[in-house]
Structures are given as C-alpha cells and as structure tokens.
Structure 1
Amino acid sequence: MATLDTAVYEPQQHLGPTAERGWSCRCVADADPSSIVRELGRIGDHLGTRVAGRAGSLEEVIQPRAIADAHPRSLSARYGLGTLPFHTELSHRTKPCRYLLLGCIDPGSPAAATMLLDWRNLGFSQQELDLLEATPVLVRTGRRSFYSTILAPGGAFLRYDPGCIEALDARGRNALRLVEDRIAGAASEAEAHHWRQGDILIIDNWRVLHGRSPSDQGSGRRLARILIDA
C-alpha cells in the first residue's frame, strides 16, 4: 500500500529550500558558461553521483528543438517547440535520477519558463495511490523497454512521462488518465521559473515534475544540465 511518507522525500539538510518545496534557485555571480557548468558540477558532486544523459554525457547543454531536429524518443520529438508537458526526468530508465540540476547559460528571446509541480500536491486519495503503485505499465525505451508502475513501491517517486509510458489494459489507462487529469487541474497552480543568465535550479526529481512553456525556433535558450543519483 502506498503512503506519502515524507521521510522518503527528505533530501540532505544542506539543500535548504529544496528540502521544503522540492526545488530551489540560486545564482552564479560569474555567468560565464564554464563557471555555470563548474558550479553545477560542484553542487551535483556534493549531492551524489552524476548520471549520463540520453547522449551519454555527464554534462549537457540543452535547448528547445523542433520535432525534425529532436532525438526520436525524446519529448521534443512529439511536442517540438510547443509546451513540453510535466514529466519526471529519466522516466525511461529503471530508476529516474534523484536530482535534476539546470543552469542558465542564455534565457533566450523570447524566454521560455520552466514549470514546476509537486506531485504530492495533486490530491491523490489512498485508493488512488494504491492504483498507481499496483498497476503495471509499459515503459518504452527501444530494445530495453520494461514493465513498471507509475508510483514506485512505497511512494518513493512518481514515474510519469507521456512520451514513453503506455497503458497495458483498461486499468492502466485509468491510472494514466488519473495522473493526466490531476496535472491538468493543477497546471494553473504550478510555479514558473523565468530564467536569468546565471540562474541555477536544483530540482528533486522524485518529488517535482517539470515542463517548459512554448519556445521559438532560434530563441537562443541554452541550459546546462547535470543529472544526479543519490
């Protein structure tokens, strides 16, 4: 039976605001790209072990991409420069990374915000949590596709990514629809981070779903990204 045991989600005490609301922001005084990446690495190495991203790199620079330019199994391949839906980073892996670190090299023009939503505030009942923890779904990741559940055992994290998770039966469709409906209903209450050069976001990926507002082709938006296991 899934329960929202807050101890599961409590990051190290030094994270401060991240421990309280699931994410925090700080700013690098020297907004040079190398300084931003270096600070991301310093924070990340203090939190845990770096995890390689989709391209196999421990340090990445990401930017909005049109559908034709995106990785074929990424959210951008489906949504392009439009709104990227809320999701859990690395949902396509057996265990999503614990922390997502983003640093703003260039906010772009027009700037696209990063949207943040604590899934624990979506109002799931105990019966709904049990459904999410017990119902199998298919996580598509090419030849390494696997079966899992939307809610990890004990409620450790919510695995949600509309780009890679598929229902296997009617119960699975009900579980996915439940999450989709709750996210849609809470979207207006999500927090929006409007980037400034040098900003760094520390996101508890097991607790906070994130997305992106629409962007323009060639906006120049560039974020450094490091993924952390803890």
Structure 2
Amino acid sequence: MDIDLNKLRDTGWIFLRGEKSLKQDNLLKLANTLGEPIPSRATGTLVDTLMPVDTKKARPNSLSALYGTGHFPLHTDTAYKKVPARYILLYAKQIEGEVQSTTLIDLEKIKFSQDLEERLDRCLYTIINSRHSFLATLRGYSNTHRKNWIRFDTSCMLATNKESTVTINELNESISKVTLDTINWTQGDILIIDNWRCLHGRGVANSSAKAVRVIERVTIQ
C-alpha cells in the first residue's frame, strides 16, 4: 500500500480504502514509511486500540473521561507531550453499523491576525501529564523539519492567565468558522493525519447500541 506524500503535504491528511484484515505488523510497516512509530503513552504499545467508552472507564484527563461515548471536540493527538506526534495513522479494524465519523480541519486554511499569531508563540498553558506536567505555548517550531506545529487539546491544557484564556478562545472562534472535512468509516479504511497541521475530532454518537467502532492508532514521530 503506497502513501501519496504529495497529497499529504498538500491537504494535511489522506484517506485510503485499505484491507479489511490488516495485521499490526503491516500497519507498523506502513507507519514506518512516514517516520518512527512511538507509544502514545510511556507505558503503552506501538498500536493503540480505540473504542468509545463510558466516562467512568476512561483514562483520567482524557477526552473519553470528559465526553464518554459522545462527540469529541477538535484536538491535537498527544498534546500532553512536549512535542506532539508528527503523524497519526488510524485504521478501522472493526466497523459494524452506523458509527461516529471522524472530523478534520486543516489549520493552514485559517488566516490568523498578526496579534493572534504573536500570542500563539507567547501565551503559556499548563499541559497536564500526571507528574510530568509542564508549561508550553500553543505553537512550537521543529528545527529538524523546519516547520511550525500547534498544540490544541482543551482536555489537558489550562490557561495560566487572562491573556492565555482570551487567546485560546479566539483560536476556537477562528476554527469554528472553517468547514470541517468528514470521514465516514467502513471496515478496512485508513486515515493518515499530519498532526502538526490538522486537528481532528469525533462526530456525534450513534444512538444504536449495536454499532461497533474499533480503530487502531499508531502515533509517528
């Protein structure tokens, strides 16, 4: 399976109709063509299994702990790391019935004011990561890739002052004005996201208790 790197650079994400039974070894081989697969958590594995879970069963300070099986707001994956993962690879391992979609937004479509641009680089937030919490700005820069990236996940970020609060509210407002792209999953589909450029979320929950949504995720450095 080939990845169209030009399309990934142009749009910030690519969607592939994959194989309905893709082994994890092959999923990791695909991930390796983009970079180095890394665990999303210090004690985790290279492949995460994601399923809608009730808030009581979710990891503390996670989106699932806040929203359960419902809608997930747009966010950066692994925003709790000092440098978020470069790419996110999602594979629809099991899809039964009408399941929640994945929503996407390309931040490069948004023209920020010069004032907001400056505050993205200046305002500090507390990034909650258990005993490894730290202070960071919304935007960072990679010397290796010569590329800016944005960290955005309100489930693990706390504004440190009034200016930080205003800034994240303005960013939210700017995001809300852009039309979302929507991925409607079928089993075997693959979605690759430039996590430094695009935010993604989960659509409104399906009311059917029979719907099954199992997504495998690989985070790539």
With normalisation by structure 2, the TM-score equals 0.90
Task: Give 1:51's match in structure 2, choosing from 35, 38, 44.
Answer: 38
What displacement does 1:33 show?
Answer: 4.5
State the aligned residue count. Answer: 212
**Aligned with 2:150: secondary structure?**
coil
- Separation (CA, whole Å) in 2 of partners of 1:198 and 1:82: 23
What displacement does 1:174 show?
Answer: 0.8
What displacement does 1:215 show?
Answer: 2.5
Residues 108 and 185 of structure 1, relative CA distance in 2, 3 Å threshold? farther
Task: Give 2:183's match in structure 1, choosing from 182, 193, 199.
Answer: 193
Seq. identity, %: 29
Q: How does 1:64-143 map to 2 (within 5 A)?
A: 64-143=52-131
1:151 aligns with 2:139: yes
One-letter code aligned to 1:163: S
Task: Give 2:176's match in structure 1, choosing from 172, 177, 184.
Answer: 184
More moved, 115-124 vs 191-200: 115-124
1:225 aligns with 2:217: yes
What displacement does 1:126 show?
Answer: 2.1
What displacement does 1:67 show?
Answer: 0.7
- Separation (CA, whole Å) in 1 of partners of 2:25 and 2:184: 22
Check conservation: 1:133, 1:153, Cα contact below 8 A.
Answer: no
- Separation (CA, whole Å) in 2 of partners of 1:146 and 1:45: 29
Greater helix proportion: 1
- Separation (CA, whole Å) in 2 of partners of 1:82 and 1:16: 34
With normalisation by structure 1, the TM-score equals 0.86
Residues 150 and 221 of structure 1, relative CA distance in 2, 3 Å threshold? same
CA-based RMSD of the aligned residues comes to 1.8
**Aligned with 1:106: secondary structure?**
strand
Greater strand proportion: 2
Check conservation: 1:99, 1:202, Cα contact below 8 A.
Answer: yes
One-letter code aligned to 1:15: L
**Aligned with 1:221: secondary structure?**
strand
1:174 aligns with 2:166: yes
- Separation (CA, whole Å) in 1 of partners of 2:171 and 2:137: 12
Check conservation: 1:108, 1:222, Cα contact below 8 A.
Answer: no
- Separation (CA, whole Å) in 2 of partners of 1:119 and 1:179: 10
Check conservation: 1:112, 1:214, Cα contact below 8 A.
Answer: yes
**Aligned with 2:92: secondary structure?**
strand
More moved, 123-132 vs 161-170: 123-132
Give the unaligned 5+ runs of structure 1.
Answer: 1-12
- Separation (CA, whole Å) in 1 of partners of 2:15 and 2:85: 19
1:10 is matched with none
Runs of 4+ in 1 over 3 A off after TM superposition: none
Task: Give 2:153's match in structure 1, choosing from 157, 161, 165.
Answer: 161
2:21 is matched with 32
